[in-house]
Structure 1
């Protein structure tokens, strides 16, 4: 009898897939990293409880290109500095990705706010431009000229926080308590350059990063980095406290329930 591909896989095959994933080599990304100081009140408004603003009102944007065994991937993340108790870290507002495969794992496993987008990093001589575009709007752009090579920092551990939740089947709240996920990444850098440039944020109703304006540019760098990733659930959260932040994950909250407006209703 022919094997039906939608049928169950044996446990040995499942274990082999998990073991293979655990042995992936370092995947080095090339891209631009920017940090800027923003409006502290604006930053505080985007943080769901129990996260609080960090010591400095910083926003962090990374726009990268990765070659995964010959397959190109554009990957970006825009996050705000925050703290959970005494631990400082970053809360990601949006993580644009160019492929469905890179989007699915992060969203379903860690609760990462990944969305499909156009993510590009272009270098011509000393000039570099990195962009994130969705629905025809380039809402984040980092551009400038690459300058002096910088000492590469020692490997360090970066903490990211995510909300993981499952909207309820009946359209009211969640099917289970939302979770606060703590993700630790050990980042390694093999080359790093200073960039003399600017961060340009453009108005987008669907990706309103422009609400976190650049008040003071802290740094822009260009380099090659890699990191590992391990996460854990650190808290079950109050559903009523998290409901006001669900819209951060979706372009339109109605898409959670596949709502379609009747064009003849007006």
Structure 2
């Protein structure tokens, strides 16, 4: 039975070594406008390559909740000697989406939102994916499993692993405090950049040619990430993906940095832009 008071053991075991096991879906990469990517990176990060990478996956066996679907769009950035992915936004959908948002956003500072709809399909060598939010199809993916990427450079961005390979990744995220003051306004404080190290084990990796479209909703500017050239994609399965550790890298100025972090986490209605939503 659940209770509003849990044991000390429950507190100790909260999100212990989070792992998203039995993961299946599409990994992709495409060339995007260099000037745009530079303009939307926080000033403490430097663009490494003018590309957008991402995935749309079903996570069948997370160890912190029910199954859910997840997508991400990120670019490759650098801070000092550290090179990693900088995620602009993740979308989640399905029974375990709430737990996925809590673990990612609260524990690791990941910019997550809820999608209205996510689809992921494979029939033979034809694969498709779709992300919908606020009535807009933000991303539409078609993947033809030809055995080759659109361009060989894709292998350097999303890899070309063999079954059984264990890959490691590093991602940049941001953590902060949010508090309502005695004046009634909400203020951000204690802003830090962190890195999240992950390890994943590949089961299958089927390469192919990518076709992709992006569009914007009023709250989700995916269309800003224009597709200059599709570079490649793969249908993959991972047996597990372990969130190994989150490490604090540096403290940051709130006023200079928060404008770059808001859109991936919050809608415009939270920033004074009134919206009306009618449900019948």
Cα displacement string for residues 139-168 of structure 1 (whole angstroms, at most 9, x for unaligned residues): 012112223397617322211111212333
Q: 1:107 matched to which residue of 2?
A: 105
Paired residue secondary structure (1:35): strand
Cα displacement string for residues 74-102 of structure 1 (whole angstroms, at most 9, x for unaligned residues): 11111111111122111111110112111
Post-superposition offset of 1:262: 10
User: Cα RMSD (Å) of the superposition?
Assistant: 2.6
Residue 195 (structure 2) pairs with residue 179 (structure 1): no
Q: 2:162 matched to which residue of 1?
A: 152
Q: 2:90 matched to which residue of 1?
A: 95
Q: Residue 44 of structure 2: which of 50, 75, 84 is its match?
A: 50
Post-superposition offset of 1:224: 0.5
Contact 1:130 1:143 in 2 (8 A): yes
Contact 1:145 1:196 in 2 (8 A): yes
Of Structure 1 and Structure 2, the greater strand share is in: 2
Paired residue secondary structure (1:204): coil
Q: 2:33 matched to which residue of 1?
A: 39
Residue 102 (structure 2) pairs with residue 86 (structure 1): no
Instruction: Structure 1 unaligned segments of length 5 or more: list them.
Output: none
Q: 2:57 matched to which residue of 1?
A: 64
Q: 1:10 matched to which residue of 2?
A: 7
What is the 5 A alignment of 1:107-256?
Answer: 107-117=105-115, 118-148=117-147, 152=162, 154-170=165-181, 171=185, 173-174=187-188, 176-225=189-238, 226-229=240-243, 230-248=245-263, 249-252=265-268, 254-255=269-270
Distance 1:173 1:21, change over 3 A: closer
Supply the distance in 2 between the matched residues of 1:168 and 1:151 (Cα, whole angstroms).
44
Distance 1:234 1:222, change over 3 A: same
Instruction: Structure 2 unaligned segments of length 5 or more: list them.
Output: 149-159
Residues paired across the two proteins, number: 252
Supply the distance in 2 between the matched residues of 1:262 and 1:83 (Cα, whole angstroms).
37
